[in-house]
Amino acid sequence: MATKRVADMTPEEVEKQRERSRLNQRKRRANRTEDERIEENKKNNQRMKEYLSNMSSEEKEEYNKHRRELRNARIAKMTPEELAEMKRKKSEKARQYRLSLTDEQKEKIRERDRLLHKKYRKNATLEMIQKQKEWRMKNADRIRENQKTWRQKNKDKIKMYKHKSYIKNKEHIKRYMKEYNKNNEDKLKQYRHEYYMKNRDRISERNKKYRNKNIDKYKVKQKAYLNCERNIYEKYAGKLLPEDGAICDDNGFIMVKCFHTGKMFYPKRYMLLNRIRSINKFNAGENHFYISEEAKKACPVYHTNPNWDPYRKEKQHLIPPIDPFWRKTVIERANGHCERCGKASDVLHAHHIIPKGVCGMLEEDFDNGIALCPECHLGEGGVHDIDGCRLHELAAEKRETV
Protein backbone atom coordinates (compact mmCIF):
# COMPACT_ATOMS: atom_id res chain seq x y z
CA MET A 1 0.00 0.00 0.00
CA ALA A 2 1.43 3.34 -1.10
CA THR A 3 1.93 5.87 1.68
CA LYS A 4 0.36 9.27 1.40
CA ARG A 5 2.44 12.40 1.26
CA VAL A 6 2.02 14.91 4.10
CA ALA A 7 0.70 17.47 1.60
CA ASP A 8 -2.17 15.12 0.66
CA MET A 9 -3.14 14.35 4.27
CA THR A 10 -5.87 15.97 6.32
CA PRO A 11 -4.91 17.68 9.60
CA GLU A 12 -6.33 14.75 11.62
CA GLU A 13 -4.25 12.27 9.65
CA VAL A 14 -1.12 14.42 10.10
CA GLU A 15 -1.69 14.50 13.88
CA LYS A 16 -2.16 10.70 13.98
CA GLN A 17 1.02 10.21 11.95
CA ARG A 18 2.97 12.45 14.37
CA GLU A 19 1.57 10.59 17.39
CA ARG A 20 2.61 7.26 15.82
CA SER A 21 6.15 8.51 15.17
CA ARG A 22 6.42 9.80 18.77
CA LEU A 23 5.43 6.40 20.17
CA ASN A 24 7.95 4.61 17.95
CA GLN A 25 10.62 7.05 19.00
CA ARG A 26 9.88 6.50 22.70
CA LYS A 27 10.03 2.72 22.27
CA ARG A 28 13.34 2.98 20.45
CA ARG A 29 14.77 5.27 23.14
CA ALA A 30 13.64 2.95 25.95
CA ASN A 31 15.46 -0.03 24.37
CA ARG A 32 18.78 1.70 23.59
CA THR A 33 21.96 1.34 25.70
CA GLU A 34 23.82 4.13 27.48
CA ASP A 35 26.53 4.35 24.82
CA GLU A 36 23.90 4.57 22.07
CA ARG A 37 22.12 7.34 23.96
CA ILE A 38 25.32 9.39 24.33
CA GLU A 39 26.19 8.87 20.66
CA GLU A 40 22.72 9.88 19.53
CA ASN A 41 22.76 13.01 21.69
CA LYS A 42 26.11 14.01 20.17
CA LYS A 43 24.72 13.56 16.66
CA ASN A 44 21.59 15.55 17.48
CA ASN A 45 23.64 18.37 19.03
CA GLN A 46 25.91 18.47 15.98
CA ARG A 47 22.94 18.51 13.64
CA MET A 48 21.31 21.31 15.67
CA LYS A 49 24.51 23.39 15.62
CA GLU A 50 24.75 23.07 11.84
CA TYR A 51 21.09 23.95 11.48
CA LEU A 52 21.44 27.06 13.70
CA SER A 53 24.68 28.18 12.05
CA ASN A 54 22.91 28.42 8.68
CA MET A 55 20.19 30.67 10.13
CA SER A 56 20.25 34.44 10.03
CA SER A 57 19.93 36.46 13.26
CA GLU A 58 16.23 37.21 12.53
CA GLU A 59 15.48 33.52 11.92
CA LYS A 60 17.27 32.56 15.14
CA GLU A 61 15.24 35.10 17.10
CA GLU A 62 12.03 33.77 15.57
CA TYR A 63 13.04 30.18 16.31
CA ASN A 64 13.87 30.96 19.98
CA LYS A 65 10.58 32.84 20.35
CA HIS A 66 8.66 29.85 18.96
CA ARG A 67 10.47 27.49 21.39
CA ARG A 68 9.64 29.77 24.34
CA GLU A 69 5.97 29.87 23.36
CA LEU A 70 5.82 26.06 23.12
CA ARG A 71 7.53 25.70 26.50
CA ASN A 72 5.21 28.21 28.18
CA ALA A 73 2.16 26.47 26.68
CA ARG A 74 3.41 23.10 27.94
CA ILE A 75 4.06 24.50 31.44
CA ALA A 76 0.62 26.18 31.54
CA LYS A 77 -1.06 22.78 31.10
CA MET A 78 0.93 21.21 33.96
CA THR A 79 -0.38 20.68 37.49
CA PRO A 80 1.62 22.01 40.51
CA GLU A 81 2.85 18.47 41.27
CA GLU A 82 4.10 18.03 37.70
CA LEU A 83 5.88 21.42 37.85
CA ALA A 84 7.59 20.49 41.11
CA GLU A 85 8.66 17.15 39.63
CA MET A 86 10.01 18.88 36.51
CA LYS A 87 12.05 21.33 38.62
CA ARG A 88 13.39 18.51 40.78
CA LYS A 89 14.48 16.51 37.72
CA LYS A 90 16.08 19.59 36.19
CA SER A 91 18.03 20.42 39.38
CA GLU A 92 19.09 16.78 39.75
CA LYS A 93 20.29 16.73 36.16
CA ALA A 94 22.25 19.95 36.68
CA ARG A 95 23.80 18.58 39.90
CA GLN A 96 24.86 15.38 38.16
CA TYR A 97 26.38 17.44 35.35
CA ARG A 98 28.34 19.60 37.83
CA LEU A 99 29.63 16.53 39.64
CA SER A 100 30.80 14.98 36.40
CA LEU A 101 32.93 18.05 35.53
CA THR A 102 36.69 18.09 36.14
CA ASP A 103 38.52 21.03 37.75
CA GLU A 104 39.77 22.24 34.36
CA GLN A 105 36.25 22.22 32.90
CA LYS A 106 34.93 24.10 35.95
CA GLU A 107 37.66 26.72 35.56
CA LYS A 108 36.82 27.10 31.85
CA ILE A 109 33.12 27.61 32.66
CA ARG A 110 33.98 30.23 35.31
CA GLU A 111 36.27 32.05 32.87
CA ARG A 112 33.55 31.99 30.22
CA ASP A 113 31.02 33.41 32.69
CA ARG A 114 33.44 36.17 33.70
CA LEU A 115 34.03 37.14 30.06
CA LEU A 116 30.30 37.14 29.32
CA HIS A 117 29.65 39.29 32.39
CA LYS A 118 32.38 41.76 31.37
CA LYS A 119 31.04 41.88 27.84
CA TYR A 120 27.52 42.48 29.11
CA ARG A 121 28.67 45.26 31.49
CA LYS A 122 30.65 46.85 28.67
CA ASN A 123 27.74 46.84 26.22
CA ALA A 124 25.03 47.57 28.81
CA THR A 125 23.31 50.90 28.35
CA LEU A 126 22.22 53.20 31.15
CA GLU A 127 18.61 52.17 30.59
CA MET A 128 19.44 48.49 31.10
CA ILE A 129 21.37 49.23 34.31
CA GLN A 130 18.51 51.43 35.55
CA LYS A 131 16.00 48.65 34.83
CA GLN A 132 18.11 46.18 36.80
CA LYS A 133 18.29 48.55 39.78
CA GLU A 134 14.54 49.10 39.69
CA TRP A 135 13.90 45.35 39.55
CA ARG A 136 16.20 44.79 42.53
CA MET A 137 14.46 47.53 44.50
CA LYS A 138 11.04 46.02 43.78
CA ASN A 139 12.08 42.46 44.63
CA ALA A 140 14.47 43.26 47.49
CA ASP A 141 12.48 41.28 50.08
CA ARG A 142 12.17 38.26 47.82
CA ILE A 143 15.89 38.32 47.01
CA ARG A 144 16.75 38.56 50.72
CA GLU A 145 14.50 35.62 51.58
CA ASN A 146 15.96 33.51 48.78
CA GLN A 147 19.48 34.30 49.96
CA LYS A 148 18.60 33.36 53.56
CA THR A 149 17.06 30.05 52.55
CA TRP A 150 20.02 29.27 50.29
CA ARG A 151 22.51 30.03 53.09
CA GLN A 152 20.60 27.86 55.55
CA LYS A 153 20.55 24.94 53.10
CA ASN A 154 24.21 25.31 52.14
CA LYS A 155 25.87 26.11 55.49
CA ASP A 156 28.48 23.38 55.15
CA LYS A 157 29.25 24.33 51.56
CA ILE A 158 29.74 28.01 52.53
CA LYS A 159 32.07 27.04 55.40
CA MET A 160 34.13 24.83 53.12
CA TYR A 161 34.35 27.54 50.45
CA LYS A 162 35.40 30.18 53.02
CA HIS A 163 38.04 27.84 54.45
CA LYS A 164 39.48 27.13 50.98
CA SER A 165 39.56 30.79 50.01
CA TYR A 166 41.24 31.69 53.34
CA ILE A 167 43.95 29.06 52.84
CA LYS A 168 44.60 30.31 49.28
CA ASN A 169 44.76 34.01 50.28
CA LYS A 170 46.14 33.66 53.82
CA GLU A 171 49.21 35.87 53.39
CA HIS A 172 47.32 38.53 51.45
CA ILE A 173 44.57 38.68 54.12
CA LYS A 174 47.12 38.99 56.95
CA ARG A 175 48.98 41.76 55.13
CA TYR A 176 45.76 43.63 54.42
CA MET A 177 44.52 43.29 58.03
CA LYS A 178 47.83 44.60 59.43
CA GLU A 179 47.73 47.66 57.18
CA TYR A 180 44.05 48.27 57.95
CA ASN A 181 44.60 47.98 61.74
CA LYS A 182 47.53 50.41 61.58
CA ASN A 183 45.62 53.00 59.53
CA ASN A 184 42.36 52.74 61.54
CA GLU A 185 43.60 52.19 65.10
CA ASP A 186 41.53 55.00 66.70
CA LYS A 187 38.46 54.09 64.68
CA LEU A 188 38.66 50.42 65.74
CA LYS A 189 39.12 51.34 69.42
CA GLN A 190 36.06 53.56 69.31
CA TYR A 191 34.03 50.89 67.50
CA ARG A 192 35.04 48.19 70.02
CA HIS A 193 34.17 50.45 72.94
CA GLU A 194 30.75 51.30 71.46
CA TYR A 195 30.06 47.64 70.66
CA TYR A 196 31.01 46.58 74.19
CA MET A 197 28.80 49.25 75.80
CA LYS A 198 25.82 48.19 73.67
CA ASN A 199 26.27 44.43 74.18
CA ARG A 200 27.75 44.33 77.68
CA ASP A 201 25.13 41.98 79.17
CA ARG A 202 25.23 39.61 76.22
CA ILE A 203 29.05 39.46 76.30
CA SER A 204 29.12 38.76 80.05
CA GLU A 205 26.56 35.94 79.65
CA ARG A 206 28.56 34.44 76.78
CA ASN A 207 31.78 34.59 78.82
CA LYS A 208 30.07 32.88 81.78
CA LYS A 209 28.83 30.07 79.54
CA TYR A 210 32.29 29.67 78.03
CA ARG A 211 33.90 29.54 81.49
CA ASN A 212 31.42 26.90 82.68
CA LYS A 213 32.08 24.79 79.57
CA ASN A 214 35.89 25.14 79.77
CA ILE A 215 36.38 25.04 83.54
CA ASP A 216 39.35 22.64 83.21
CA LYS A 217 41.26 25.11 81.02
CA TYR A 218 40.68 27.89 83.56
CA LYS A 219 41.97 25.66 86.37
CA VAL A 220 45.20 25.09 84.42
CA LYS A 221 45.54 28.86 83.83
CA GLN A 222 44.94 29.55 87.52
CA LYS A 223 47.67 27.09 88.48
CA ALA A 224 50.08 28.77 86.05
CA TYR A 225 49.17 32.20 87.51
CA LEU A 226 49.74 30.94 91.05
CA ASN A 227 53.15 29.57 90.05
CA CYS A 228 53.98 32.91 88.47
CA GLU A 229 53.07 34.77 91.69
CA ARG A 230 55.07 32.23 93.72
CA ASN A 231 58.11 33.01 91.56
CA ILE A 232 57.59 36.71 92.17
CA TYR A 233 57.65 36.14 95.94
CA GLU A 234 60.81 34.04 95.73
CA LYS A 235 62.47 36.58 93.45
CA TYR A 236 61.51 39.92 95.08
CA ALA A 237 60.51 39.29 98.70
CA GLY A 238 64.16 39.38 99.84
CA LYS A 239 64.66 42.72 98.07
CA LEU A 240 61.89 44.46 100.01
CA LEU A 241 62.55 46.14 103.36
CA PRO A 242 61.30 44.69 106.70
CA GLU A 243 58.93 47.64 107.12
CA ASP A 244 57.03 46.41 104.00
CA GLY A 245 56.01 43.27 105.94
CA ALA A 246 56.12 40.91 102.92
CA ILE A 247 54.76 37.42 103.60
CA CYS A 248 53.72 34.46 101.43
CA ASP A 249 50.21 33.03 101.88
CA ASP A 250 49.15 29.37 101.57
CA ASN A 251 48.59 29.61 97.80
CA GLY A 252 51.94 31.25 97.08
CA PHE A 253 50.72 34.85 96.69
CA ILE A 254 52.87 37.66 98.06
CA MET A 255 51.21 39.91 100.69
CA VAL A 256 52.48 43.29 101.92
CA LYS A 257 51.47 45.79 104.61
CA CYS A 258 49.78 49.11 103.79
CA PHE A 259 52.11 51.95 104.85
CA HIS A 260 49.24 54.07 106.25
CA THR A 261 46.60 51.64 107.61
CA GLY A 262 48.88 48.67 108.39
CA LYS A 263 46.47 46.19 106.76
CA MET A 264 47.80 43.25 104.74
CA PHE A 265 46.81 43.05 101.06
CA TYR A 266 47.84 41.56 97.70
CA PRO A 267 49.85 44.14 95.72
CA LYS A 268 49.85 44.49 91.96
CA ARG A 269 53.03 43.74 90.09
CA TYR A 270 53.78 47.37 89.15
CA MET A 271 53.63 48.29 92.89
CA LEU A 272 56.29 45.68 93.68
CA LEU A 273 58.56 46.74 90.83
CA ASN A 274 58.25 50.48 91.64
CA ARG A 275 59.01 49.85 95.33
CA ILE A 276 62.12 47.77 94.52
CA ARG A 277 63.35 50.39 92.03
CA SER A 278 62.95 53.06 94.69
CA ILE A 279 64.88 50.98 97.25
CA ASN A 280 67.69 50.61 94.67
CA LYS A 281 67.51 54.38 94.03
CA PHE A 282 66.45 54.08 90.39
CA ASN A 283 63.13 55.87 91.02
CA ALA A 284 62.52 59.19 92.75
CA GLY A 285 60.54 58.91 96.00
CA GLU A 286 59.79 55.92 98.23
CA ASN A 287 56.81 54.32 96.42
CA HIS A 288 55.37 52.79 99.59
CA PHE A 289 52.54 50.25 99.41
CA TYR A 290 49.00 51.61 99.82
CA ILE A 291 45.84 49.50 99.95
CA SER A 292 43.71 52.17 98.18
CA GLU A 293 43.78 55.67 96.76
CA GLU A 294 41.99 57.00 99.88
CA ALA A 295 44.73 55.57 102.12
CA LYS A 296 47.37 57.11 99.84
CA LYS A 297 45.81 60.58 100.01
CA ALA A 298 45.21 60.34 103.78
CA CYS A 299 48.85 59.40 104.46
CA PRO A 300 50.81 62.45 105.79
CA VAL A 301 54.08 61.14 104.25
CA TYR A 302 52.69 60.92 100.71
CA HIS A 303 54.11 63.66 98.42
CA THR A 304 56.50 64.93 101.14
CA ASN A 305 59.61 63.96 99.14
CA PRO A 306 61.77 67.11 98.71
CA ASN A 307 62.42 66.11 95.09
CA TRP A 308 58.69 65.80 94.31
CA ASP A 309 57.36 68.49 92.00
CA PRO A 310 53.60 68.39 91.26
CA TYR A 311 54.14 70.63 88.21
CA ARG A 312 56.83 68.40 86.61
CA LYS A 313 54.63 67.53 83.61
CA GLU A 314 54.01 71.20 82.84
CA LYS A 315 57.75 71.93 83.09
CA GLN A 316 58.91 69.03 80.95
CA HIS A 317 58.56 71.02 77.73
CA LEU A 318 60.92 73.68 79.18
CA ILE A 319 63.80 71.14 79.43
CA PRO A 320 65.47 71.05 75.98
CA PRO A 321 66.14 67.57 74.51
CA ILE A 322 69.67 66.37 73.67
CA ASP A 323 70.92 67.72 70.36
CA PRO A 324 70.82 64.81 67.82
CA PHE A 325 73.99 66.10 66.05
CA TRP A 326 75.89 66.16 69.37
CA ARG A 327 74.72 62.58 70.18
CA LYS A 328 75.65 61.30 66.70
CA THR A 329 79.14 62.91 66.85
CA VAL A 330 79.91 61.50 70.31
CA ILE A 331 78.81 57.96 69.32
CA GLU A 332 80.70 57.99 65.96
CA ARG A 333 83.86 59.16 67.73
CA ALA A 334 83.84 55.96 69.89
CA ASN A 335 84.06 53.63 66.82
CA GLY A 336 81.60 51.09 68.29
CA HIS A 337 83.42 50.71 71.65
CA CYS A 338 82.34 51.78 75.14
CA GLU A 339 84.72 54.53 76.35
CA ARG A 340 84.39 53.36 79.99
CA CYS A 341 84.85 49.56 79.84
CA GLY A 342 86.28 49.28 76.28
CA LYS A 343 83.85 46.56 75.16
CA ALA A 344 82.51 46.49 71.57
CA SER A 345 78.77 47.20 71.51
CA ASP A 346 76.19 47.66 68.75
CA VAL A 347 74.16 50.02 70.97
CA LEU A 348 75.87 53.04 72.55
CA HIS A 349 74.43 55.88 74.65
CA ALA A 350 75.74 59.46 74.58
CA HIS A 351 76.27 60.68 78.19
CA HIS A 352 77.12 64.14 79.59
CA ILE A 353 80.16 63.98 81.91
CA ILE A 354 79.06 67.18 83.66
CA PRO A 355 75.23 67.07 83.75
CA LYS A 356 73.20 69.66 81.87
CA GLY A 357 71.47 70.69 85.09
CA VAL A 358 74.84 71.58 86.68
CA CYS A 359 76.24 73.55 83.73
CA GLY A 360 74.03 74.28 80.76
CA MET A 361 76.91 75.91 78.81
CA LEU A 362 78.63 72.51 78.39
CA GLU A 363 75.49 70.87 77.02
CA GLU A 364 76.70 70.90 73.37
CA ASP A 365 80.44 70.65 74.09
CA PHE A 366 81.79 67.48 72.41
CA ASP A 367 84.57 67.12 75.05
CA ASN A 368 81.83 66.93 77.71
CA GLY A 369 80.34 63.82 75.99
CA ILE A 370 81.24 60.16 76.44
CA ALA A 371 79.85 57.08 74.60
CA LEU A 372 78.76 54.31 76.99
CA CYS A 373 77.27 50.84 76.60
CA PRO A 374 73.82 50.34 78.25
CA GLU A 375 75.36 48.48 81.22
CA CYS A 376 77.86 51.24 81.99
CA HIS A 377 75.19 53.90 81.49
CA LEU A 378 72.10 52.58 83.30
CA GLY A 379 73.11 49.20 84.82
CA GLU A 380 74.22 48.41 88.35
CA GLY A 381 77.60 49.99 89.05
CA GLY A 382 77.19 52.29 86.03
CA VAL A 383 77.76 56.05 85.90
CA HIS A 384 74.22 56.74 87.17
CA ASP A 385 75.02 54.78 90.37
CA ILE A 386 77.65 57.37 91.35
CA ASP A 387 76.58 59.90 94.01
CA GLY A 388 75.22 63.02 92.34
CA CYS A 389 74.66 61.26 89.00
CA ARG A 390 71.64 59.11 89.90
CA LEU A 391 68.59 59.68 87.73
CA HIS A 392 66.39 61.19 90.46
CA GLU A 393 69.27 63.48 91.60
CA LEU A 394 69.83 64.70 88.04
CA ALA A 395 66.05 65.23 87.66
CA ALA A 396 66.03 67.33 90.86
CA GLU A 397 68.95 69.44 89.54
CA LYS A 398 67.09 70.02 86.27
CA ARG A 399 63.97 71.18 88.12
CA GLU A 400 66.07 73.58 90.21
CA THR A 401 67.61 75.10 87.08
CA VAL A 402 64.11 75.51 85.56
Q: What is the pLDDT of residues 45-104, one digit of tens each?
A: 888 888 888 888 888 888 888 888 888 888 888 888 888 898 888 888 888 888 888 888
Q: How many CB atoms lie within 10 A of CB 240?
A: 17
Place 388 in a pLDDT band, splitting at 50, 70 and 90: low
* Strand partners for 350: 371
Task: State residue 358's pLDDT score.
Answer: 65
pLDDT of 174 > 60? The answer is yes
3-class DSSP string for 271-288? HHHHHHHHHCCCCCCCCC
Phi, then psi, of 351 in degrees rounded to 5: -125, 140
Strand duo 264-265 + 247-248: pairing: unpaired
Domain boundaries, the chain: 217-298, 312-401
Task: State residue 359's pLDDT score.
Answer: 66
pLDDT of 211 > 70? The answer is yes
Q: List Cα–Cα distances, 274 to 237, 244, 396, in angstroms.
A: 13, 13, 19
CB neighbour burial string for 26-55, b if at least 16 within 10 angstroms, e if fewer: eeeeeeeeeeeeeeeeeeeeeeeeeeeeee
3-class DSSP string for 219-282? HHHHHHHHHHHHHHHHHHHHHCCHHHCCEECCCCCEEEECCCCCCEECCCHHHHHHHHHHHCCC
Task: State residue 4's pLDDT score.
Answer: 63
Q: If you ran DSSP here, which 8-state letter would residue 347 be given?
A: -
Least confident of 174-178, 285-289, 354-358, 371-375: 354-358
One-letter amino acid for residue 5 of the chain: R
pLDDT of 311 > 60? The answer is no
Q: What's the pTM?
A: 0.29
Task: Out of 1-10, 120-129, 191-200, 319-328, give the one with best mean pLDDT.
Answer: 191-200
Task: State residue 402's pLDDT score.
Answer: 37
